[in-house]
Amino acid sequence: MAVEYKVIETSDVSAETLEEILNEWTLAGWTLDTMQFAMRDSSKRPAMAFVTFTRPATDS
């Protein structure tokens, strides 16, 4: 079975923004796959987040 991927990149890594991304894309039928953070050397707070979703590919 083929899989489609959707990657959302955000520089706002607040809980509210991440919740919005998760809610928007799961309501659209996507399933959360991974969430990765890019860190700054000078801060404990992430600089960016990459949220990856999957869903079964549709036959075109």
Q: Strand 46-56 relative to strand 31-39: parallel, antiparallel, unpaired?
A: antiparallel
pTM of this structure: 0.87
Per-residue pLDDT of the chain (60 residues; tens, 9 = 90+): 899 999 999 999 999 999 999 999 999 999 999 999 999 888 888 999 999 999 999 876
pLDDT of residue 1: 80
Q: Which domain holds residue 34?
A: 3-56
Structural domains in the chain (count)? 1
Q: What span, in angstroms and rounded, lies between the C-alpha atoms of 30 and 26? A: 5
Encode pLDDT of 27-37 as tens digits: 999 999 999 99
Cα-to-chain-centroid distance, residue 45: 17
31 in Cβ contact with 55 (< 8 Å): yes
pLDDT of residue 43: 87
